[in-house]
Amino acid sequence: MVTILLCDDDLMNRKVASKILVKEGFYILEAQNGQEALDILKKNRVDLILMDLMMPVMDGFEATKRIKNDDELRAIPLIIISALCDQEAVIKGLEIGADEYLAKPFDLMDFRLKIKNTLLRFYGV
């Protein structure tokens, strides 16, 4: 089963995304900030990371940088999902290693397709 780490500080965002992803057959781990995400990644095998940007403790930019600079974690595909959708945020997210960028509120079909296409590109799944 494909495991997805969903990192977002907003409980409702996590609930909505988790419900969609579980329906698609994925196993979901949840983190409320970048530091929690890093802690989860140390202990669990994860196939895909969905990362919000604006969070307390450690934001998604910093968490993404740390993940993509870690030899053991950098190969995990990461999709940023954020309400920050100006060109500067998108470019910065992609420059630090995100594989995709999805603006909130996301379109359900776009959300599903980006996840499925990312998994297909990385794992052939």
Identify the domain containing residue 22 by its residue range: 3-123
Per-residue pLDDT, 5: 98
Question: Which CATH number belongs to the domain containing residue 106 in this structure?
Answer: 3.40.50.2300
Between CA 82 and CA 89 the distance in angstroms is: 9
Which of 35-39's residues contact partners 24+ apart within 8 Å by CB, and which partners?
Answer: 35/63, 36/7, 37/5, 37/7, 37/63, 37/67, 38/63, 38/66, 38/67
5-9, 43-47, 102-106 — which is least confidently predicted? 102-106
> Given pLDDT bands bounded at 50, 70 and 90, which one contains residue 105?
confident
Q: Which residues contact 101 (CB under 8 A, 6 or more apart)?
A: 79, 80, 82, 90, 93, 94
Residue 105, preceding bond cis, omega within 30 degrees? Answer: yes
Per-residue pLDDT, 106: 83
Check pLDDT > 90 for residue 86. no
What share of the chain in percent tops pLDDT 70?
99
Per the document, the length of the chain is 125
Helix, strand, coil in percent for the chain, rounding step 5: 45, 20, 35
Check pLDDT > 90 for residue 84. no
What share of the chain in percent tops pLDDT 90?
87
Per-residue pLDDT, 38: 98
pTM check: above 0.85: yes
For tokens 């470019």, the residue is: 91
| Coil, strand or helix at 6 | strand
Tell me the pLDDT tens digit for each residue of 32-47.
Answer: 999 999 999 999 999 9
Per-residue pLDDT, 67: 98
> Given pLDDT bands bounded at 50, 70 and 90, which one contains residue 97?
very high
Hey, which residues does 30 pair with through a beta bridge? 6
Please give the tally of structural domains in the chain: 1
